[in-house]
């Protein structure tokens, strides 16, 4: 169990902890995450990682500690690069875009961090932009 003064190690949950910390970083860029962004994050974590609500809560809590201690994206992306194949890394970038679009607006900072993370994850510009458009199209096709 992680105490309030300890930061969980990535070995505890591997890429899921690193990916969740990266996703938390994305939704925290424009200030405190909105309720919509928090719900979207929770839903993505449950769906993509096959966790129940309690498991998702625990992972998000651990990831918040890790994200708060990180000084750069490399801490997250290096773990993901070691443990996740290209298809999985593409899904993580898609998850980032889903969170960016969750509140209905894309800021320059959000766009930039997805670009930087994608580069560190070995995702091509073409794939990153394709994923962005795919998520934006799905978002515009979904009634509010």
Residue pLDDT, tens place only, 21-53: 999 999 998 788 999 999 999 999 999 999 999
The total of other beta-carbon atoms located within 10 Å of residue 114's CB is 23
pTM beyond 0.95: the answer is: no
On the question of pLDDT at 4 being above 80, the answer is no
Domains contained in the chain, CATH given = 12-141 (1.10.3680.10)
Q: How confident is the model at residue 128 (pLDDT cuts 50, 70, 90)?
A: very high
Q: How confident is the model at residue 14 (pLDDT cuts 50, 70, 90)?
A: confident
Residue pLDDT, tens place only, 101-114: 998 888 999 999 99
Angstrom distance (rounded) from CA 114 to CA 29: 11
CA atoms within 13 A on the CB side of 22: 33
């Amino acid at each position: 169990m992680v105490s309030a003064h300890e930061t969980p190690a990535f070995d505890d949950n591997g890429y899921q902890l690193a990916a969740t910390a990266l996703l938390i970083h994305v939704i925290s860029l424009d200030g405190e995450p909105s309720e919509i962004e928090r719900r979207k994050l929770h839903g993505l974590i449950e769906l993509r990682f096959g966790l129940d609500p309690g498991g998702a809560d625990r992972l998000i809590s651990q990831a918040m500690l890790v994200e708060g201690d990180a000084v750069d994206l490399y801490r997250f992306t290096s773990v993901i690069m070691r443990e996740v194949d290209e298809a999985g890394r593409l899904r993580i970038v898609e998850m980032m875009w889903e969170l960016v679009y969750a509140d209905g607006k894309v800021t320059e900072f959000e766009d930039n961090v997805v670009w930087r993370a994608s580069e560190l994850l070995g995702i091509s510009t073409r794939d990153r932009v394709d994923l962005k458009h795919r998520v934006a199209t799905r978002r515009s096709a979904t009634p509010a």
